[in-house]
Amino acid sequence: MKKLTVALLAGAATLTFAATAQAEPDGEAIYNQACMACHMTGAAGAPIKGDADAWAPRLEKGMDVMYKHSIEGFQAMPARGGHMNLSDEEVKAAVDFMLEPVL
């Protein structure tokens, strides 16, 4: 019985760890997949990752607006960067990664 209890606890811990690991999206991977084409080249006026001057007026509006525009789309930027399969959390992770160098 003791071995069964240990095995069950170990299994539960593994599931908990797996759920936690999956809970945080990889902003860099999402950026590379969905955002880089425009935000590395400046296509359609997209601010380039790392360009503090280009991001400053956008950041003045606050992160809630940044997330909203990224999720819903804004001007030339399509909603979710054109990747409608991305969750809100994944989009936010990509935004956070993209803004890391200028914050």
> How far apart are alpha carbons 66 and 64 in whole angstroms?
5
What is the count of structural domains for the chain? 1
Domain containing 89 equals 25-102
Q: Tens digit of pLDDT for each residue in 83-103? A: 999 999 999 999 999 999 999
Asked if residue 20 is part of any domain, the answer here is: no
pLDDT at 93: 98
* CATH number (domain holding residue 69): 1.10.760.10
Asked if residue 3 is part of any domain, the answer here is: no
Which pTM does this prediction carry? 0.78
pLDDT at 23: 75
A 10 A CB-CB count for 44 gives 10
Phi, then psi, of 78 in degrees rounded to 5: -75, 155
Asked if residue 55 is part of any domain, the answer here is: yes
Residue owning tokens 């001057």 = 53
Which segments of the chain does DSSP mark as H helices, in order? 2-23, 27-30, 36-39, 52-59, 63-72, 88-99
> How far apart are alpha carbons 38 and 46 in whole angstroms?
6
